[in-house]
Amino acid sequence: MKRTSTRVSKRLEKTKEVNAVTSIVDSLIKVSSSSYATKVERFFLRSYCPKDIFVGIRVPTCRKIMQEYLETTSEKEVLELVKDDRHEMRLTGLLALAEIYQNPAKAPLWLDKLKDKDKVRLHVCELYLQHTKYCNNWDLVDCSCHKILGDALLRFHRDAMPVYSESQELTSLPNWYQNLLVSLDLWETRISIVLLLYIKAEDVNFALAICHYHISRFFESPELRCTLENEPFESLDLIHKALGWVLRECGKQDRAKLLEFLDNNASKAAKTTIRYATEHLPKTKAKSYISQAN
């Protein structure tokens, strides 16, 4: 009798998983809008995503639908969303991974399988790193990487951060972060920077050290370019902006350290980076730093 009950329970669980994914996709399709898709495409340069398919769903709507079905959605189904050709489906899948990482209890199918919240988090990190090629637009990176990898750096590898800040030795960092930092893939490079948005005030030195690493490698090799789908890509604009964004946030945590960093590095950085980094500074000071940038 117990075996029969267990089999029935497993069948019901499997049915829930299938229904959950169908419901997520169906729910997303129901709220899609071709007219909104046309508007959204204006925010995404086609040079970055020539094959991307937009169906026109607002981010808050994607997040709301994800939350509604997360409890009964399996790993397999989340990854199907992440690998979907449609932009908003990938976005929803990545939002789901970020939510599961942050709140494992909201995903009982994952927690029941792995038995421990931190094991769920580490597993989500592995999945994210295995699927970075699907984080193939700036918003997909920006909505997820800091909530997963940024938190993981603080939660599981905090001891390595001051060591790197002092030594600048990549080998002091976890292997997965080393791989992101040396990668020339455009999206992985952006991920390695944007994940720093999760850094707290006491870790500003580490974030600045990583920014220094990226600024230096592009300054010292002016011909260096990132790749997009394994082909050299001319523009580094999304990298310059990401660096400026992180530097600006560092300045909000510790302005004195940002100013010291800019004194030493503004001349090596792109104007876009310095423009973003100095948005909150007095105009005359910001202009001075921008004029030094290359």
What are the C-alpha distances in Å from 224 to residues 17, 79, 147, 244? Answer: 45, 33, 29, 19
Q: Are residues 55 and 129 in the same domain?
A: yes
- Encoded tokens for 91: 């976005």
Range in 96-105, 228-237, 262-271 the model is least confident about: 228-237
253 and 196 share one domain: yes
In the predicted structure, residue 22 carries a pLDDT above the cut 70: no
User: The CATH number of the domain where 106 resides is what?
Assistant: 1.20.1660
Classify residue 139: in a domain, yes or no: no
For the chain, the domain total comes to 2
Burial label for 15, CB within 10 Å (0-12, 13-18, 19+), is exposed
Does 273 have pLDDT greater than 70? yes
Percent of the chain with pLDDT over 90: 80
Task: Say yes or no to pLDDT of 235 above 80.
Answer: yes
Confidence tier at 51 by pLDDT (50, 70, 90): confident
Contact assessment for residue 243 and residue 215, using Cβ atoms and an 8 Å cutoff:
yes
pLDDT at 4: 41
Residue 127: which domain range? 2-134
Q: Is residue 282 part of a domain?
A: yes
Non-local (6+) Cβ contacts of 32 within 8 A are 55, 56, 57, 88
Among 42-46, 113-117, 234-238, 261-265, the minimum mean pLDDT is found in 42-46
Task: Say yes or no: 160 and 109 in one domain.
Answer: no
* Pair 161, 119 in one domain: no
Are 96 and 176 part of one and the same domain? Answer: no
Same domain, 111 and 52: yes
134 SS3 class: helix
Distance in angstroms (rounded) separating the CA atoms of residues 87 and 141: 12
Note whether 199 and 264 are same-domain residues. Answer: yes
Domain end among 134, 161, 194: 134
- Taking residues 124-145, report their average pLDDT: 97
Whether residues 86 and 184 fall in one domain: no
pLDDT given for residue 212 in this prediction:
98
Continuous segment of H or E residues that includes residue 67:
helix 59-69
Q: Report the b/e string of 164-183 with b at 16+ CB within 10 A.
A: bbeeeeeebbeebbeebbeb
The answer on 17 and 89 residing in a single domain is yes
208/23 Cα distance (integer angstroms)? 43
Residue 203 lies in a domain: yes
pLDDT(130) > 80:
yes
Whether 154 contacts 101, CB under 8 Å: no
- Say whether pLDDT at 11 is over 60: no
Six-digit token string for 12 = 């019901």
Distances in Å between the alpha carbon of 141 and those of 54, 95, 121, 135, 234? 16, 10, 18, 6, 20
Shared domain check, 279 and 227: yes
User: What are the C-alpha distances in Å from 113 to residues 96, 110, 119, 180, 230?
Assistant: 17, 5, 10, 29, 36
Query: What's the distance, CA 9 to chain centroid?
Result: 36
Task: Answer yes or no: is 202 within a domain.
Answer: yes
Average model confidence (pLDDT) for the chain? 91
What local confidence, expressed as pLDDT, does residue 199 receive? 86
Q: End of a domain among 134, 164, 196?
A: 134
Residue 114 has what pLDDT? 84
Q: Which tens digits make up the pLDDT trace of 56-115?
A: 999 999 999 999 999 988 999 999 999 999 999 999 999 999 999 999 999 998 988 888
Q: Which residues sit opposite 231 in a β-bridge?
A: 228
Query: 98 lies in a domain?
Result: yes
Bridge partner residues of 228 (DSSP): 231
Higher pLDDT, 8 or 202: 202
Tell me: do 157 and 105 sit in the same domain. Answer: no
Least reliable range by pLDDT among 45-54, 78-87, 88-97, 157-166: 45-54
* Residue 23 confidence class, pLDDT cut points 50, 70, 90: confident
Note whether 193 and 245 are same-domain residues: yes
